[in-house]
Amino acid sequence: MNESGAKSKLGRAETTDILKLLPHRYPFLLVDRIIDMDGDRSATGIKNVTANEPYFQGHFPGNPVMPGVLLIEGMAQTAGVLCVRSGAAPASPLVYFLTIDKAKFRKPVVPGDVVEYHMTKFAHRRNMWWYRGQAKVDGQMVAEAEVGAMVASMGAGAGGAD
């Protein structure tokens, strides 16, 4: 909440906004838009799962199921957009996973599903954030996890190529 007690709404982020905020690109951009952001505290991201996703070719052919690890990645990307958009993280950040805890997968996600990633911050220390996430389809929880990440500026960290 801000000084007046009102929420610090950041609104939405469309795909073009997300591409400016995160370094991820197809096929590893796993959130299509963010429909609600509250400061760096919470956000809801959307992923429209389509039959032409590349992972369906090899993940249970004939009975396509979205890999659970990609649901967690979508949760982390939603939280990453939130950190960068709120100004809590540096411009042009690199986000590195620190932890994935308490991951549970409750129901398969299949082509045609619309996944909602509900992320809520529960800790922040220096350049590290931790979020609780729930992935839901039609209001039913399909996965949940706690994710932690470290945010660094481009050029810092692992010394990657240009």
Catalytic residues: 59
3-state secondary structure of 47: strand
Max CA pair span of the chain: 55
Query: In the 8-state DSSP scheme, what is residue 24?
Result: -
Please state, in angstroms and rounded to a whole number, the distance separating the CA atoms of residues 70 and 31.
10
DSSP E strands, the chain: 33-38, 42-48, 93-105, 114-125, 128-137, 140-153
**Could you tell me which of 15, 14, 92, 81 has the C-alpha nearest to residue 42?**
81
Half-sphere exposure of 78 (CA within 13 A, CB side): 36
The span from the CA of 130 to the CA of 146, in Å, is 7
